[in-house]
Amino acid sequence: MLGNIINQIESYNPNADLDIVVKAYNYAEMAHSNAQTRFSGERYFIHPYNVALILADLHMDVQTICAGLLHDVVEDTGITFDEIKNEFGIEIANMVDGVTKLSKVKYRNKEERQAESLRKMIVAMSKDIRVVIIKLADRLHNIRTLQYMPKEKQ
């Protein structure tokens, strides 16, 4: 699976720092190695892998692809923002943090959720548009696998 991401990156950026992508891939795979699975029955790591593959298909830089691989690590595991920062640097850590913050707020109703989501997207775009692109790739993969969700969640 890693080879698919690497091949895609090499097709548009032959001088890319692939070591950091390999490191992020292995780190995310290890972080999500618990028994957590998706509704499809696949192991959870399939989701961040597919998010990263979408980002590579969009010809994003390696930092964004790494953040895509790591985007659920802080939210879904015991790994902290500081650990991501120490392993991958502040740029990648800030993108992971931005995606996590876009996911966190709970809402009273649909209108409030939509308004707050739009506000957060605008704030994220003003800081780093890549955060929004990662979140959109995240949502795209979730939509592609919607058939596995319970009907009430669809």
Instruction: Please enumerate in sequence order all residues whose Cβ is within 8 A of that of 133, keeping only pairs 6 or more positions apart, or say none.
Output: 55, 58, 60, 64
Catalytic residue status for 128? no
Domain count, the chain: 1
Considering 75, 82, 112, 116, which one is annotated as catalytic?
75
**pLDDT tens-digit profile of 35-55?**
677 666 678 899 999 999 999
Catalytic residue status for 75? yes
Amino acid 62: pLDDT: 98
153 in a domain, yes or no? no
Residue 107 has pLDDT above 60, yes or no: no
Taking the complete model, does pTM exceed 0.75, yes or no?
Answer: yes
DSSP state of 135: H
Distance, CA of 43 to CA of 70 (rounded, Å): 15
**Residue 42 is part of a domain; what is its CATH number?**
1.10.3210.10
Q: Which domain holds residue 51?
A: 2-148
Considering 17, 42, 61, 76, which one is annotated as catalytic?
76
- CB neighbours (10 Å) of residue 53? 19
**pLDDT tens-digit profile of 131-144?**
989 999 998 988 88
112 in a domain, yes or no? yes
**pLDDT tens-digit profile of 50-90?**
999 999 999 999 999 999 999 999 988 989 999 999 999 99
58 in a domain, yes or no? yes
154 in a domain, yes or no? no
